[in-house]
Chain A
């Protein structure tokens, strides 16, 4: 009995030492992974893309029922306000019909003037519609995963838009998946212009719901309610995609609320403008182009 107890004691001690040693090894391995990630970014990017491609079928399987549930909840909410919503929409419709007439007139006028001036239109954009299969939203990232990738023609740097406006930019692309970096992400720097004054600026995300507008010249010209659109500088984005609206101009900083509602995105469109070859991959490209100007 005593021998057995001794044996168990020794075995326990050995196990303890092994456990301690195992912990050290694991901690070292975790640090090694971090260091490798810092040293070899290409390897990590490839690993990310591989992980995304592998996880994307599972995510899609999860995303569908979740989307159905979300839609049901949204539907139920809408039922409650159906009457008011209808009245509001009817009113908006009359207003929009007036706008439509104005737009038709302007379009005709524009075409005729362009013909007169021999104006050459930029390249036509084509769209790839994608389902959002994953949110990569945490305390540190604002983004999403799409179920389309290189096979569908998605390339890093392409613009991602919703019905309301610009959502973000394609950051990483796998064979059948892609990661979008939202305009609100801390790594996002977007060349924009104020629609009313045509003043150029850089729109920077900071992981919060609002974005910060850094103007090239002054802050004076900007007013609350001004629309911010892409300026097309940096190459990959078409000109004039609506991004957001100025909501705050106090204390020297201009805050912009994005038009895209990130909390209920389900489908987005990836815009292929045919000029993405100009930008390199990764997060540095918009910042680099903005510095270059």
Chain B
């Protein structure tokens, strides 16, 4: 049995997970942009040959043309925004604006909106409080996000309802809104494989096997669950951002984070409200 994993930042977790669960399978993985490059701009014969001969492609992007002839196991991309409602991926036009976390383009809606409104750094820092979160709607997104997450996976036969309840009982299960901890990927993979490749009675041993899979996203960036939001969900959190390992795993306080955010935003000539989803709600909250 050959299996190919082509998805987003979950690629390594799912590839290693399949390898651990099915030692007799040949499993390889490539992140989507890399895979696209390997079938396009810089052809990789090894990848193209494996893609053509694989029995199964695990992917979040089943409509990707390169998979047209493959059997697919669809595992949607994971994101849950209720713990990190302020973070968003900032792009102006087609240009992704690098995050102050040095990697990726994750930014703060409050910081970016405050910048566009001409607020001072100190006023922007002061705006990170429960009142702003309440008025922007950050406290009201949990149920909708839960429903959306469960439905997104349920559409592909992946029932995460019980697992989700377990996750929320353990506190914060995310590094960023779309970077879950390894155990979350394991649960998702198990539920995706359940019935098709793993029987119910094998689930416990399979879960134990997946506990050996590295936490691939642990070295990457961290976005804090703002303490007032964490308190709502009954866990503790500190207002500390962290860059990824390759950028030195540097921790940032709120003051440092907002200051650096303003520095990045000042370099942009074409940033506008259109670049910030939820700008109007946040603007109204900041001006209230």
The finding on whether chains A and B are genuine partners in a shared complex, rather than unrelated, reads no
